[in-house]
Structure 1
Amino acid sequence: MAYSHHESPETLTPLLEDDVVDGAADYKGLPARRSTSGGWRSASFIIGVEVAERFAYYGISSNLITFLTGPLGQSTATAAENVNIWSGTASLLPLLGSVVADSFLGRYRTIIAASLLYILGLGLLTLSAMIPSSQLQVLLFFFSLYLVAFGQGGHKPCVQAFGADQFDGQDPEECKAKSSFFNWWYFGVCAGGLFTVSVLAYIQDNLSWGLGFGIPCVVMILALIIFVGGTRTYRYSIKGEEESPFVRISKVFVAALGNWRTSPSAIASEEESRGTLPHQSSEQYKFLNKALLAPDDLMKNGKMCTIAEVEEAKAVLRLFPIWATCLVYGTVFAQSTTFFTKQGATMDRTIVPGFDIPAASLQSFIGLTIIIFIPIYDRIFVPTARAFTREPSGITMLQRIGTGIFFSIISMVVAALVEIKRLQTAEDYDLVDLPSATIPMSIWWLVPQYLLYGLADVFTMVGMQEFFYDQVPNELRSVGLALYLSIIGVGSFLSSFLISIIEDATSAAGQTSWFSDNLNTAHLDYFYWLLAALSAVGLAVYIYFAKSYIYNRGSTV
């Protein structure tokens, strides 16, 4: 039996050991009970708030390029760069938000603060869309846009980590539920996004940008109310009194650097003196074992690095080759909200006479694919694969990520072929020099590349979420999810960088740019072929590092 540390055994109802969740407390600060806290009940509140947040985010991002090239009057290339820079910033800021959560405020308080900031940004964004075109409008728009990015930066990694915290990884049943949580989490996120791009894009294009930005603001207010409503059911991580994980990991790298001249025999002698068996210290990144021989001043202060701390640092270091080789996926990911949308705007979008589908609405096919395939993946593919591989999740996390990268390559190949067809159609009908004319080619030709995007997401995006959550120290799980998000952020920056370089190179000496405002004379197909080639190289390098990756905490999934 166990008793709360807040009350004496005489006054406290005893807690069954099996009912106590180690390292977790309830909203009163008492030991969390498995029977009354956490699990799918709590996770459903958190999934609900994330669905609303993604609704708000996609309500801005999915059609942002249309607002920039329309009311703000920017060129296609400039607008695409601005979208990528903003998306990249929004995806990198979770690194800051996760540090604030894991080191200071905690995930629950960070989510509350970030939601308030998010709502403020959406409110100002709505106001900016309603005022007349002026320099003030531009300044207010971009200020509020980046305010939303800061709110998202605190919200995104903490909500997902907080949701996964509702399942005890040490309990066999809850461990399986946690793996399933990442699938259904992404299912909910994409369900919210599906409604956004199919409805809000129409409102923004045909009714009012103010209304199109105002609705997400109202939804975020409701989301915050829902999240607070689940407060009594949540499990909250208990912070220990040990050193911050940032301090522990930094100390290892500093000590290893300070002893870089140390001989291997000295390290082996130190390991032996501490009673360390050979298999306890992994062979990978052995240079960090030099941290075991701390400088004299650290030894006197009792700050020597332990074997556990060295292994923790190695676990974090192992993540970076995987992170770096996934960046090309983030670059491909950026295209669905920029050039795909601009392509669709030039094509025949008529559904019925008098009604044209907004070009941005085709992004709903990404979400639709995910909504269809995640249940198939979770309920059919995983059990089937498990029977052959004996892996609890069917295939390993890294195999899942690599499969998605492969599908992203196919999506770029298909996108290039469809663009060649679109350019040929424009030429056949003598529309090359008429950029505002509708090309007699149905927008449904773009659907396959969106479907392949969605299929890639089912594998790579969900795989990266679980991988970076699972493979970092427990105290850094918000940071782990921020690392996954930063892949999309850095990928957006890389996309913007490529666009800028290619724009300068291909428009020199009076040549026609690949990204000309007249897409009928541009060459987006060349850009897609380039991304497909870069992705193929990236996948080859990824496979090399993935095959040598050593899973942390004995994980094999």
Structure 2
Amino acid sequence: MDEGREHAEMTTESPDLYTQFLKFKLNLFSINKIFIRLISWIKFYFCFCKAAAFASGLVFSYKLAERAIVSVFITFFTDYERTYDLRKAAAYVNFQEGLSALLVIVIFYISQACGHLKRIILCLIVTYACGMVIFGLTSSNAFPESKFDLVSIIGLILVAVGRAGLMPFVRGFTTKQLESHEPDKQNIMEERVNAREKTWWRFAWVSGSLVAIPLFSCSWTQRFVISGCVMGIAFVLFMLFSPLYHKRKPDIAEKPFTCIRVFWAAILKCHMEYPSSPAHFCCYKINDGDDGLELWPRAKLLRWLDKAAIIEFESTLGQDEQEKAGRLCTVTEVQQTKYILKMVPTWSSFLVFGLVLSAGNTFFVEQADDLKSQDLLIYLVLLQSITSEMVSTLSPCLLSKWFPHVTKLNRIMMRIFGGMLMSMLCSAVACLVEGHRLDIAANNRASRHNYQIIPMSIWWLAPQFFLLGVMDGLATDGLEDFTTDDDHLSESMKKLLSAINTFVVTGIGSALNILCVYPNTKLFRRILNLSRLDLYFKYLTLYGTTLNCVYLLMISIFIYKGSAAQVNEASMVIYRGSDTAQVDVESIVLMLLLGFGLAMGGVFCFLPLWGALLLASRPLIKHARK
């Protein structure tokens, strides 16, 4: 009783002291809770893995060369007066970008055929380093001027091969090694593995970008030598510590050229009727809500491809023999082919976007190279890259918070459309800034033989670099989510779609930029100050506006008009089996868009190779004429 009375008296006499004691305990509990969450967050995102550490060394060397050399490659070809030709320099840079994007698909098929990631990585890093060595010798005038074009093309091809496969396969190798660190090998948490892989990648990305900053004060020869040496050191370390890596069985080799085999098998069996039972399909597993008679994804225009998976029971050949003869494909192969074809209309709407992105990556750097404080160019390049990463990371979270009742598919479409709007704004801003730069150049009499620095601050270009990063982070990564966010797709199929996305945006965009720049002698002269780059950006703004209207029309027809349909939500074309007229209209529209996309893809698929042959043959033709 006395103790309770004393406690009551203490609380009544000193309430502030008791309140402070309770607050202290509450704060201590909150701090402990925050500490536990911090520890769990660290364990989720961070994991020390020896293979991941040395693979990050390869990523570090790649990003160092990317920031110090590849991102400003056009200035290498325009820094020497004896070889200064703006159109040729732009063609070289876009040829390397387009060829690299095309080889991403080729190397993917090679990896699917052999399945040895480490061997492919070693070949790619050696190829990349050889390209750096060739350009290092070129910058030191080790080759005569008459062979500059030929040597440059060889170096560009080697760099393109190294860039095409190094990053995807290094990231794939790191993911496989991190999966071996999981405590439960049967039930691997893919979300945690991907988070840890991104942590290692971002650490190497930031480190390589920071080390590239002081390299901008060095000569081109020193840049090539340092980048090549760093790649060599990373290669040696990666090889020396290979016994410490987790041993994994090579991935099962898959059959290449799936689309071609599906088309061929469907043509051979075009006379057959559609099956009346799912048992007539090869390796078919019926999903929930599927009748089994029409393969996913459903589209009346593409249903004839289902015949490629029909087993010919009346044939004298067995099922395995039919596959070897090219007369039978699995259901999975048919579904992948149909899904790729249904993405063609979406990819065709990215043509002008890729052109704007390629033009920005090519000419923005050359604009900055003629202005005051050109040593600060690296910060503009980092601004573009950081903006792209931040927009890509934050935009899905912000859209889901701002539009909680909108479906995930529609939020992705909003990201893509926002990126296309940013591309229009980026080209419009670039047009205005370039017009201002040309006025200052004309007032200072910058002529063909006058290479003085234009008295204009380099920070005038910061808005267009920023917008270039925003449009890349919104539309390019939005396209990645749009094409790969489907439960029907396997991991290898998602990798193939990612490679095709890279080719569509970067590869075809670079090819279009070559076609628009190299033959156009009215807008583009030998030097930038005599060219009309402002008009080029003005035309891109007009073309981008027109194509964005087409894209908005596609959204209204295929997405919002069919928002009640839940069949095949990952595709832009919605199938309604109960409405025959609607199916026919959609099939006609899909046929037109599909034909347009295939025509554009066929024209530009091998354009980088044609460009290589054209540029390589010019020195030989000149020598033969002499």
Q: TM-score range by the shorter chain?
A: 0.7 to 0.9
Shift of 1:494: 1.2
Shift of 1:214: 1.0
Contact 2:381/2:465, CA 8 A, preserved across alignment? yes
| Alignment match, 1:82 | 92
Aligned mate of 1:255, from 262, 265, 287: 265
- Measured in 2, the distance between the counterparts of 1:458 and 1:237 equals 36
Contact 1:403/1:456, CA 8 A, preserved across alignment? yes
Matches of residues 462-501 of structure 1 in structure 2 within 5 Å?
Answer: 462-465=477-480, 473-487=490-504, 488-501=506-519
Change (3 A) 1:454 1:85: same
Amino acid across the alignment from 2:134: L
Contact 2:280/2:310, CA 8 A, preserved across alignment? no
Matches of residues 394-413 of structure 1 in structure 2 within 5 Å?
Answer: 397-413=412-428
Which consecutive residues of structure 1, in runs of 5 or more, have no partner in the other structure?
Answer: 1-34, 351-355, 507-513
Deviations 1:445-472 (A, max 9, x none): 1110000111122223334455566665
Q: TM-score, normalised by structure 1?
A: 0.74
Contact 2:355/2:509, CA 8 A, preserved across alignment? yes
1:331 has 2:341 as partner = no
1:239 has 2:251 as partner = yes
| Alignment match, 2:225 | 214
1:287 has 2:304 as partner = yes
Decide which moves more: 270-279 or 418-427: 270-279
Decide which moves more: 141-150 or 547-556: 547-556
SS in structure 1 at match of 2:305? helix
| Alignment match, 1:154 | 165
Aligned mate of 1:319, from 337, 343, 347: 343
Change (3 A) 1:307 1:154: closer
Amino acid across the alignment from 1:415: A
- Measured in 2, the distance between the counterparts of 1:142 and 1:542 equals 37
- Measured in 2, the distance between the counterparts of 1:85 and 1:326 equals 19
Decide which moves more: 460-469 or 54-63: 460-469
Matches of residues 100-499 of structure 1 in structure 2 within 5 Å?
Answer: 100-132=110-142, 134=144, 135=146, 139-163=150-174, 166=178, 174-177=189-192, 191=206, 194-195=209-210, 198-203=213-218, 208-225=219-236, 227=238, 229=241, 232=244, 239-240=251-252, 244-246=254-256, 249-260=259-270, 266-267=273-274, 269=276, 276-277=291-292, 281-284=296-299, 285-293=302-310, 300-302=317-319, 303=322, 304-347=328-371, 349-350=372-373, 356-357=374-375, 359=377, 362-370=380-388, 372-373=390-391, 376-377=394-395, 381=398, 384=401, 387-389=404-406, 391=408, 397-427=412-442, 436-465=451-480, 473-487=490-504, 488-499=506-517
- Measured in 1, the distance between the counterparts of 2:234 and 2:113 equals 25
Contact 2:266/2:307, CA 8 A, preserved across alignment? yes
- Measured in 2, the distance between the counterparts of 1:235 and 1:462 equals 33
Contact 1:190/1:370, CA 8 A, preserved across alignment? no
SS in structure 2 at match of 1:267? coil
- Measured in 1, the distance between the counterparts of 2:467 and 2:200 equals 20
SS in structure 2 at match of 1:441? strand
Deviations 1:255-312 (A, max 9, x none): 22224455xxx31535586684457644222221232446678673213445444323
Contact 1:52/1:223, CA 8 A, preserved across alignment? yes
- Measured in 1, the distance between the counterparts of 2:403 and 2:194 equals 14
Change (3 A) 1:100 1:174: same
Amino acid across the alignment from 1:491: G
% identity of equivalent residues: 22
SS in structure 2 at match of 1:357? helix
Change (3 A) 1:479 1:371: closer
Deviations 1:458-487 (A, max 9, x none): 223334455566665433454333323323
Contact 1:50/1:159, CA 8 A, preserved across alignment? yes
Contact 1:373/1:455, CA 8 A, preserved across alignment? yes
Shift of 1:68: 1.3
Contact 2:275/2:310, CA 8 A, preserved across alignment? no
Amino acid across the alignment from 2:359: Q
Change (3 A) 1:89 1:250: closer
Contact 2:216/2:375, CA 8 A, preserved across alignment? no
Decide which moves more: 313-322 or 382-391: 382-391
- Measured in 2, the distance between the counterparts of 1:458 and 1:182 equals 20
Matches of residues 511-550 of structure 1 in structure 2 within 5 Å?
Answer: 514-542=523-551, 548=558
Amino acid across the alignment from 1:535: G
1:52 has 2:67 as partner = no
- Measured in 1, the distance between the counterparts of 2:314 and 2:231 equals 52
Change (3 A) 1:536 1:194: farther
Contact 1:190/1:371, CA 8 A, preserved across alignment? no
| Alignment match, 1:502 | 520
Shift of 1:100: 1.3
- Measured in 2, the distance between the counterparts of 1:419 and 1:360 equals 20
SS in structure 2 at match of 1:202? coil
- Measured in 2, the distance between the counterparts of 1:171 and 1:390 equals 32
Shift of 1:144: 2.8
Shift of 1:233: 5.5
Shift of 1:428: 5.4
- Measured in 1, the distance between the counterparts of 2:367 and 2:392 equals 28
Contact 2:68/2:213, CA 8 A, preserved across alignment? no
- Measured in 1, the distance between the counterparts of 2:225 and 2:369 equals 24
Amino acid across the alignment from 1:95: I
- Measured in 1, the distance between the counterparts of 2:566 and 2:125 equals 34
Decide which moves more: 466-475 or 448-457: 466-475
CA RMSD, aligned part only?
4.2
| Alignment match, 1:511 | none
Shift of 1:120: 2.6
Decide which moves more: 247-256 or 527-536: 247-256
Which consecutive residues of structure 2, in runs of 5 or more, have no partner in the other structure?
Answer: 1-42, 323-327, 560-564, 573-626
Amino acid across the alignment from 1:53: Y
- Measured in 1, the distance between the counterparts of 2:334 and 2:357 equals 35
- Measured in 2, the distance between the counterparts of 1:39 and 1:253 equals 45
Amino acid across the alignment from 1:158: F
SS in structure 2 at match of 1:156? helix
Contact 1:197/1:363, CA 8 A, preserved across alignment? no
Contact 1:187/1:371, CA 8 A, preserved across alignment? no
- Measured in 1, the distance between the counterparts of 2:542 and 2:186 equals 44
Change (3 A) 1:252 1:384: same
Contact 2:53/2:200, CA 8 A, preserved across alignment? no
Shift of 1:398: 5.0
Amino acid across the alignment from 1:526: L
- Measured in 1, the distance between the counterparts of 2:274 and 2:48 equals 47
Change (3 A) 1:132 1:50: closer
1:68 has 2:77 as partner = yes
